[in-house]
Structure 1
Amino acid sequence: MSATVLGAAGAEPQGGVIVFRDVTSQRELERLREDVFAMAWHDMHTPITVIRGHAALLLARVKHGRLDKKSFVNAAELIVKHSDRLADLLTALFDIRCLQAGMLKLSRWPTDLGLLAAELVEGLNATSRHKLVVDASDGVIGEWDERRIRQVLTNLLSNAAKYSSEGSTISVSVRADSDHATVSVRDEGIGMEADEIAQVFRRGYRANRALNVRGGGLGLYLAHGLVSAHGGRMWAESPGHDRGSTFSFALPIGTREGETGTA
């Protein structure tokens, strides 16, 4: 709020002007920034600690002439792994900030969802400790930002693997009707109750049974936002604890008339 008195110099005031400015959105962005970085600090601290520790170890061994190739390779691999993890986290923070500020750019072009899902699963199967299977209809094509949809599906697959036992099955299905394409990722993991499902896409939310698994509660929040930016929706289903979960998202096929491609 600001106020100004109206009147000529040396004369009696003739009135005044009071201006009220709505700062709700500005305060919300400030709270978002504080919340996101507070939640991310724990996840950022771990890779930074690992990177520094193994870099210091390598330095000490070089200085003292202890050139063990195997230990060098192991330390270097951990540094690369945790550097990538830190980069992914910083990218997620930037994307969340852009989403909330309405500045996220979508680069749309014809994307085959079935092919995208098959490529992701094929790449993960080489190192995954789960059985990943894909059931995709042919020709599920729409104008979407392929990189962003890949980001969404990667997040859902990563979550399914984190919250289910090694050796269990993770299923991906891709279906379409005349208006929408729907992708579902089903696991055989810890499952959720109704009250947890209601909060699962909230920023920073972690169910009690998930607190022992690494994560800051940002991935699903970001994935939900990316799907919404495409004009789609995301939801979760589960019959209960220890009975698995299914995360799905639906995207409109094609670009709506007048859409600019900016969230």
Structure 2
Amino acid sequence: SGQTIGYLRVALPLQQLRAEQQKLLNTVILSLTLILLIISISVINVARSATRPLEELTQSISKLSAGGFTSDWKPKLSTAEHSIEIDRLINAFNYLTEQIQNQLKALEQERNKLSNVLQEMNDGVLIIDQEGVIQLANPAVAKMLGLPDQDLLGKTISQVLPHTQFHESWQRTRDKKETQTSLIEIQPKKLYIQCMTAPLETIGKGAVLMLLQNLTRQRYLETVRRDFISNISHELRTPLASLKALTETLQEGALEDPPAAHKFLMQIENEVDSLSHMVSELLELSRIESGQVPLRLRPASPYEILQKTLDRLGIQAERSGLKVVIDCDPNIPPVLADPSRLEQVVGNLFHNAIKFTPAGGQIILSAKPQNGNVLFCVSDSGIGIPADELPRIFERFYKTDRARAGGGTGLGLAIAKHVVEAHGGTIWAESIESQGSKFFFIIPRA
């Protein structure tokens, strides 16, 4: 009925209440700490997941900047739902790096091609900077000039090319920015080098490109051509002048004297025969050089070749007071050759030996096996050949000073050389002036 009938008093000790309060507070603090820890870990994981592609992208950029394209250079795409922009950035980066890689591969291929071309060129190529220091040099430079096989980069042009004309050509091009061409003769090597220089400002200020061409062979061939024209003119002029003189003599009245006319006509016939022989040898040499003369190759006895040559020309040696010896085993292994052509070679060499060996001298025809080949030799005790003329004796129409007085067309040794080479062999000569000569040639065995 709302009336107070009494009072109930509940009481706890203050100390116990404070303990319970502290326990509750500790529980709340621990719970909050765990919640914060869980939230922090989650945030870190989410942040790490979101930033991992950026870290990989940064690492990839660092690798690319160091010049390395390895199998792990591409960053991976993110799997986070909110990383669309990052994925686009990674895709763009991957595409860009693939394009760069393709371009670098193409550049590497072109560089290798250029390097191979420079390595294989017969002409020397140099790039020289403003100070005269060589920045590029291909192997042909050292080979052409007979320099030690070493790296020329970093050396000066004066160290590598001591001839002053090289330095002058480089200097004029560097200073005047004009292309220069000069022919430089290097003694005592007897080299003829064409030096062409051009400004190369695209490489650097004052840079010069130098191209070296070895024209020694061309100069040699030009000398041979001039000598050939001079010699053939001489060989034709002498019989033609004789024919003209004999004809004029007949026209002036020698025809009325039958004995004299007969003598002159015989001389005319001899001169015509000489001209005909020279023309025939020229035509034969031309056919041999062009490969138009087929070789009838078969096993042939070197001994028989020497013996047949002696049978044919031995009478000439006897008339000249010469002793001829054959030094050859009759059972020597055969060679694979055209016997008639080898007889022609031995005959030409034998004929020269007869011509240039004084009476009382000796000629030796020999053949012996050597390393799967047969070495032929025609040696004499004649006047010999000067050392400076030995390299040219196999040229057509070339005659030594002593040989000019002996007559002949000057084609015999040239024909012998080409016949031997057509058989796959080689021919050379050794001589000591006033002591005799030795002509060797090698023919493969059958």
Mapped partners of 2:360, 2:265: distance in 1? 29
Cα distance change on mapping 1:100 and 1:119 into 2, 3 Å: closer
Equivalent AA in structure 1 for residue 284 of structure 2: D
Structure 1 residue ranges, 4+ long, deviating more than 6 angstroms after superposition: 31-35, 51-62, 74-77
Counterpart mapping for 1:62-211 below 5 A: 64=256, 66=258, 72=262, 81-128=270-317, 129=320, 130-140=322-332, 141-177=334-370, 179-211=372-404
Contact in 2 for aligned 1:44/1:89 (Cα 8 Å): no
Aligned AA (1:113): P
Residues 205-256 of structure 1 show CA distances to partners (whole Å, capped at 9, x for unaligned) of 3333434332454321221111011100111112x210111001110123xx
| CA distance, structure 1, for counterparts of residue 401 and residue 242 of structure 2 | 27
**Cα distance, 1:178–1:95 mapped onto 2, change above 3 Å:** same
Find the aligned partners of 2:407 and 2:307 in 1 and give their Cα distance: 26
Q: Distance in 2 between matches of 1:173 and 1:119?
A: 13
Equivalent position SS for 1:134 = strand
Provide closer, same or farther for how the CA distance between residues 34 and 99 of structure 1 changes in structure 2, counting only shifts above 3 A: farther
Alpha carbons 1:186, 1:245 under 8 Å: kept: yes
User: Aligned pair in 2 of structure 1 residues 108, 78: CA closer, same or farther (>3 Å)?
Assistant: farther
- The residue number in structure 2 matching 1:232 is 425
Deviation at 1:106, TM superposition (A): 1.6
| Superposed displacement of residue 161, structure 1 | 1.8
Residue 7 (structure 2) aligns with: none
For the aligned residue pairs, the C-alpha RMSD in angstroms reads: 3.5
Please give the per-residue CA displacement for 1:89-142, whole angstroms capped at 9, x wherever unaligned. Answer: 222211232244343422223332211211221232223312222222214422
The separation in 1 between residues aligned to 2:275 and 2:400, in whole angstroms, is: 23
Q: Does 1:250 align with 2:439?
A: no
Aligned-partner Cα distance in 2 for 1:48–1:186: 35
Question: How many angstroms does 1:50 deviate by?
Answer: 5.2
What displacement does 1:149 show?
A: 1.4
Q: Distance in 1 between matches of 2:249 and 2:323?
A: 37
- Aligned residue pairs: how many? 222
SS of equivalent to 2:378: strand
CA distance in 2, matches of 1:149, 1:164: 22
Which consecutive unaligned segments of at least 5 residues does structure 1 have? 1-26, 255-263
Partner Cα separation in structure 2 for residue 225 and residue 83 of structure 1 = 27
| Alignment check: 8 A CA contact 2:299 2:337 kept | yes
Structure 2 CA distance, aligned partners of 1:65 and 1:81? 20
- Is the 8 Å Cα contact of residues 39 and 216 (structure 1) preserved in structure 2? no
CA 1:215–1:63: 2 relative to 1, 3 Å:
closer
CA distance in 1, matches of 2:255, 2:270: 24
TM, length-normalised to structure 2: 0.42
- Contact persistence 2:308–2:343 (CA under 8 A): no
User: Greater relative contact order (Cα 8 A, min sep 6): structure 1 or 2?
Assistant: 1
SS in 1 for 2:436: coil
Shift of 1:66: 3.4
Secondary structure (helix, strand or coil) at the match of 2:258 reads: coil
Bigger share in helix:
2
User: CA 1:195–1:38 in structure 2 vs 1: closer, same or farther (change >3 Å)?
Assistant: closer
Q: TM-score, normalised by structure 1?
A: 0.67
Higher Cα radius of gyration: 2
Report the equivalent of 1:7: none
